[in-house]
Structure 1
């Protein structure tokens, strides 16, 4: 299979588990960058999980204000800097964060959308809002990684917005994250089935 075919499959082909395709705007950007197929597969998995988080928020927490489209775009592009720092697809590193934000801005993406490439791993920054926290959460829970500090921040924002007790928000969110996390092995296998290098 050619890299272009592999990249296309990673972005939109039927998958197991079933994952929503990446938005056309993001797919075009990844194609233009000749993105590693594994990066596209990762972004697709996180984008799909973000959809699930948002659907839950809209149904169960309709009074909580957040920017749906920004969260989805952020989830679909948060690691785009790894198209430049390819080694960070298989090794730890944070060079992709600033590089990703700069790459997106350089391609005409507004800073308020490009920021997720930099903020997805910086959830303790006081300037980070609920939109950023939801992208960060999607980027962890897609592989069933539970990060108590991150989840506490989300719970705090939800409790503040709804007036419910933090334990109530914890209970509801914990149940949701458990359900999403159940398919983590399948998502990890989907991502691993694509090559890192072109």
Structure 2
């Protein structure tokens, strides 16, 4: 498998899951401005959406959208218990969280990163405050989002939480989230992924 990524982007989430899974994989960096891969190819030929992550499977198929990719990867290594089994309520709870992170948390950062939305920046910060208040409450008393076991949700939430400072907010205002982010950052697989992307 090959993961197409951009350092610090949401593609860090499947990168972490790949490291946790023990599955063999390659990395290829993408310049999101030029849409060119590190090997000099047109990234649109890999993913017509032009966004990361994109996971090229061994049979040549390409899977996109981080929430879908992490579920696929978790299912490849059921013994790692990175995602609950299909048709269980726990699985639907994971899907519930992945959708919340993708549609509420991640998208709320759009005005922070895109200059075209500058006029919405302050409103976006207020939205993020409310959303991370919710996350902090749900993390209180837990080691991980789903309880005492690391899952694909944690890879995604951790990744998005690393963007908090870009919104000129401090993670320290959320005690449970702050402790959670530190705990996740110390996992060997997370350290490997972040080092590979030049983030530490």
- Asked if Structure 1 and Structure 2 have the same fold, meaning a TM-score greater than 0.5 normalized by the shorter chain, the answer is no
Of Structure 1 and Structure 2, the greater strand share is in: 2
Q: Output the TM-score relative to the length of structure 2.
A: 0.34
Q: Output the TM-score relative to the length of structure 1.
A: 0.34
Of Structure 1 and Structure 2, the greater helix share is in: 1
